[in-house]
């Protein structure tokens, strides 16, 4: 009889122990729910390497007496852009530039819209640029024909193009219209004329107002 009592007591102890440690799921106790790992703020915000980069800009210019070159340099310096000089295969002499002579090289070229003076060299890897500034002197109210040679040498699709010029007195006018019609898959912004002695502040005030990121 004593033995049976001992067995019953042992069985009750086993059952009560099982009730305490039993494998039933916790209900309604959030403290037992594993929290989702939170993303640290360092992971959410981009590291400096991931910051979106600004546009890659090229300033390409043609200049015989260095007026346009000065503006182009100020532009490239201020924007942190690459600079490329459009160099004619055959340099222009003073006689070539004589606009008082209808037989001079510049007069003959400007009287022939299909003239395409050859360029020496080329822009390396034009694909890398998002924005190309195109500078030239006004010749007879227009961009010199060598600028058409330049524009026709590259595919500017998807790029932003913006012309600038220097002149004795003429305004920018429609001096870039022949260039626009050639590269009509590019996004052209309004161009600007500068005097030969334009200041860096004036040049950059214009460039920074174009909305280029
Ligand atoms: C052939 C030729 C034609 C020109 N035609 C004009 C013109 O129509 N209007 C004007 O204001 N200046 C005219 N100019 C003056 C130039 O546009 C001006 O001197 C310009 O700043 C020169 O730029 P560069 O030094 O970069 O070559 C002409 C100059 C040359 C050589």
Angle CA(32)–CA(38)–CA(40) in degrees, nearest 5? 150
How far is 76 from 176, CA to CA, in rounded Å? 20
Question: With a threshold of 0.75, does the pTM exceed it?
Answer: yes
Q: Which of 75, 108, 102, 72 is nearest to 90 (CA)?
A: 108
pLDDT of 48 above 60? no
* 66 touches ligand 1 (CB under 6 Å): yes
Averaged pLDDT, 108-127: 97
Note whether 73 and 147 are within 8 A (CB).
Answer: no
Phi and psi of 74, rounded to 5°? -65, -40
What percent of the chain stands above pLDDT 90?
Answer: 73
pLDDT of 53 above 50? yes
pLDDT for res 83: 98
pLDDT for res 213: 76
Residue nearest atom 30 of ligand 1, based on CA coordinates = 139
How far is 21 from 80, CA to CA, in rounded Å? 71
What CATH number should be reported for the domain whose range is 54-208?
3.40.50.360
Q: How many C-beta neighbours within 10 Å does residue 213 have? A: 8
Give the start-to-end residue ranges of the domains of the chain. Answer: 54-208
C-alpha pair distances (Å), 163 with each of 13, 25, 106, 175: 94, 73, 21, 9
pLDDT for res 164: 98
- In tens, the pLDDT along 64-85 reads 999 999 999 999 999 999 999 9
Average pLDDT across the chain, whole number: 84
* 186 touches ligand 1 (CB under 6 Å): no
* 147 touches ligand 1 (CB under 6 Å): no
User: Is pLDDT larger for residue 132 or for residue 44?
Assistant: 132
């Amino acid at each position: 009889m004593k033995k049976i009592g001992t067995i019953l007591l042992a069985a009750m102890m086993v059952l009560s122990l099982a009730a305490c440690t039993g494998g039933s799921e916790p209900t309604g106790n959030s403290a037992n729910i594993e929290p989702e790992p939170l993303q640290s703020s360092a992971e959410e915000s981009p590291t400096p390497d991931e910051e979106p980069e600004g546009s890659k800009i090229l300033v390409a210019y043609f200049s015989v007496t260095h007026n346009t070159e000065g503006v182009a340099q100020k532009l490239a310096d201020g924007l942190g852009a690459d600079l490329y000089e459009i160099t004619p295969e055959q340099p222009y002499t003073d006689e070539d530039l004589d606009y008082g002579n209808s037989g001079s090289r510049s007069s003959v070229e400007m009287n022939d819209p299909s003239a395409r003076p050859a360029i020496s060299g080329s822009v390396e890897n034009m694909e890398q640029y998002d924005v190309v500034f195109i500078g030239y002197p006004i010749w007879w109210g227009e961009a010199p024909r060598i600028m058409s040679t330049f524009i026709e040498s590259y595919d500017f699709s998807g790029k932003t193009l913006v012309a600038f010029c220097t002149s004795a007195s003429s305004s920018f006018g429609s001096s870039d219209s022949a260039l626009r019609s050639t590269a009509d898959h590019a996004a052209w912004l309004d161009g600007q004329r500068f005097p030969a002695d334009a200041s860096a502040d004036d040049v950059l005030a214009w460039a920074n107002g174009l909305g280029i990121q």
